[in-house]
Amino acid sequence: MQSLEWSEESSVGIPQMDAQHRHLFELLAELRKCVNCGASDNDTLARKALQEAIRYAEWHLRREELLLRLRGYPDYAKHKAEHDSYREKVVSLQAQAHRRDLGIRIANFLAAWWTYHIQTSDQQYARFFRSQERIVNSSLAAAPPTRWRSRQPLPDPHAGSR
């Protein structure tokens, strides 16, 4: 069973994205608790928790897709395709409303999918962003050309005509 505990290994190095992933893990842990708790209002609680997790997850996916487009991530299409296949799977699971074990099946799927996705695919864009930052930093840190560093005054172009 997936632990759904946030760890630094899951960080993508962007505070807003990390905060969203962390909150998503919290919602999924809450969902798992609801489907396993066995209380009399279990179904209602689980349904609410599921709706909240899926709604928040969709909001996160859209924010992340926007970020990847804005930053020119070269594997955007592949990443978006992974998000889309997740969306299709969620729709198909939700369509099996007649199944008694649906809550547990969806909770397990979400926990496994999000843990894997954040720790592998999201780490790939994190690596790209880090390499972009290194390029920017090393470009800005480059020493100016020797002539600009010299304090020698430029020769007077009118010196010979006086």
Give residues in contact with Fe ion (CB under 5 A): 64, 122
Which lies closer to Fe ion via its Cβ, residue 48 or residue 89?
Answer: 89
Rounded CA separation 67/10 (Å)? 18
CB of 80 to Fe ion, least distance (A): 9
Which lies closer to Fe ion via its Cβ, residue 30 or residue 64?
Answer: 64
Q: What share of the chain is helix, strand, coil (3-state, %, to 5)?
A: 75, 0, 25
CB of 17 to Fe ion, least distance (A): 6
Which lies closer to Fe ion via its Cβ, residue 39 or residue 81?
Answer: 81
Beta-carbon count within 10 A of 114 CB: 23
The angle at the Cα of 132, spanning 131 to 136, to the nearest 5 degrees, equals 115
CB of 86 to Fe ion, least distance (A): 9
